[in-house]
A and B are shown apart, each in its own frame.
Chain A
Amino acid sequence: MSRSALRQAWLILVGLTAMTSIVATCTASADPSDNATMVAGPMLLLLALAKTRIILAHYLGLAQVPSVLRGFTVVVLLYVVLLAALYIAPVLI
C-alpha cells in the first residue's frame, strides 16, 4: 500500500467521521421513535460499514486480496443489518 493511498484512506475516514458527527448532531435531541432518528440510525450504521471497509482494505491491506475483502464486507454488512433491525424493532413492535 503506497503512502498516498494510505493518506487518501485517512482523508476519507476523516470525511466519513465528519459526516457521522453531522448526522448524529441533527438527531441528538430527537425522540427515539421520531422518523428522523429512524432514518439517521441506519445511516450511521452504513457510515460505520464504509469506515470498516476502508480500514480493512487500506490499513489492513485486504485490497490486495479482493475475494477476502468481499467476504469480510459481506459479513460486516449482515452484522450491520442485524444491528439496524434491532434498532428499528422497538418502533415496529
Chain B
Amino acid sequence: MPPLPPLENRTDDWPDDWPHEWREVSDSLRAPSILHQMPGDLMMWLLIVSELLVFGAGLAGFMAVRLSDPAGFAAAQDQLHRGAAGINTLLLVSSGLFAALAARAAEAGRPPRARLFLLLAASLGIGFLLIKSSEYADLMQRGIGTETHSFFMFYYLLTGFHAAHVAAGIVLFGVVGWSCSPTGVEMGAAFWHMVDLVWILLLPVIYLLR
C-alpha cells in the first residue's frame, strides 16, 4: 500500500494506484468548508444570527399581539413619524455603504481612508439617533408611553433596543478606527450591517403595515 501523501498536496499529486474512493475522501478533506469561505470571523456571524433571531422573535410577537386589535394598532401607528423613519432608513443604508468602504480601505492597507469612511458612517449613525430621539421626545410630550397601548410597549422596546445597537456600533467604529486593523474594521462594519438588517425588517412591521 502506498504511503499517505501530505494533505497540502494537490489532487493530481496522488499516486496513480490510489483507488478512486480514497481520492474523493482526500479531496473532500482538503476542500475549504463553507465556514472557511464565509467573509469575516465565525463569531461575528454567530452574533449577527443571534441578534436577528432576537429581533425576529420580537417582531413576530408584535404581529401576533396585533391579531387581537388590528384597528387599535393602526390608530397607534398613526402617531408615529413615517417620514422620519424613511429618512432614517436612507441614513442607515448610506452609512452601511461607508462602513463597507471602510472595511475595503482597511483591507487595502489605507488606514486614513478607512478612518474617514468610518467617521462618515458614524456621523450618519448619529443623525439616525438624533431623529429617533426627537421622535421619542415628541411622543412623550404628547403623553404616549409604554403603557398607552401594547403597540407602544413593543415600539419602545424594539426601536429602543435597536437604537442601543446603533449607539454601540458608533462606539465600535471609534474603537476599531483607532488601530484600523483590517479584521477589526471588518467586524465593526459587519456589526453595523446587522443593525442595518434589523432596521430594514423593523421598518415595515412597526411603521408601515396597517
**A32 contacts across to B, CB distance below 8 A:** 70-71, 73-74, 210
B201 lies within 8 A of chain A by Cβ: yes
Given the complex, which residues of A lie within 8 Å of B96, measured CB to CB?
A: 10, 13, 55, 59
A–B pairs, 20, beta carbons within 8 Å = A1-B104, A10-B96, A14-B90, A14-B93, A14-B94, A24-B204, A32-B210, A41-B209, A41-B210, A44-B204, A44-B208, A48-B204, A55-B93, A55-B96, A59-B100, A64-B37, A67-B34, A68-B37, A86-B66, A90-B66
Interface string of A65-77 (1 = CB under 8 A from B): 1011000000000
Known: A60-B193, A86-B67, A89-B67. 9 other contacts (CB 8 A): A20-B203, A24-B204, A24-B207, A44-B209, A48-B204, A52-B201, A59-B196, A67-B34, A83-B63
Nearest Cβ in chain A — how far from B203, in angstroms? Answer: 7
Q: Which of A10, A48, A89 contacts B97 (CB 8 A)?
A: A10
B200 touches A58 (CB 8 A): no
In contact, A87 and B208 (Cβ under 8 angstroms): no
Residue of chain B at shortest CB distance from A7? B97
- CB pair B56–A79 under 8 Å, yes or no, is yes
**Closest Cβ neighbor of A67 among chain B residues:** B34
Contact residues on A (Cβ < 8 Å of other chain), bracket: 35 or more
Contact B204 A17 (CB under 8 A): no
**Chain B 9-39: CB-based contact to A (< 8 A → 1; otherwise 0):** 0000000000000000000000000100111
Q: Give the contacting residue for B60; candidates A51, A56, A83; CB below 8 A.
A: A83
In A1-23, which residues have CB < 8 Å from any B CB? Answer: 1, 3, 6-7, 9-10, 13-14, 17, 20-21
Give the chain A neighbours of B104 by CB distance below 8 A.
Answer: 1, 3, 6
Contacts of A28 in B (CB 8 A): 82, 210
Assess whether A17 is in contact with B90, with CB atoms less than 8 Å apart.
yes
Docked complex: B152-210 residues within 8 A CB-CB of A: 189-190, 193, 196-197, 200-201, 203-205, 207-210
Q: Which A residues lie within 8 Å of B204 (CB)?
A: 20, 24, 41, 44-45, 47-48
Interface size for B (C-beta < 8 A) is 43
Q: Which residues of A contact B (CB under 8 A)?
A: 1, 3, 6-7, 9-10, 13-14, 17, 20-21, 24, 27-28, 30, 32-33, 37, 40-41, 44-45, 47-48, 51-52, 55-56, 58-62, 64-65, 67-68, 79, 82-83, 86-87, 89-90, 93
- B93 adjacent to A10 (CB under 8 Å): yes
- B54-80 contact mask (Cβ, 8 Å, vs A): 1 or 0: 001001100110110011011000000
Is B200 a contact of A68 with CB atoms below 8 Å?
no
Q: Is the CB of B70 within 8 A of A90?
A: yes
The interface residues of chain B lying within 8 Å CB-to-CB of A60 are 39-40, 48, 190, 193
Return chain A residues, CB-CB under 8 Å to B101.
3, 6
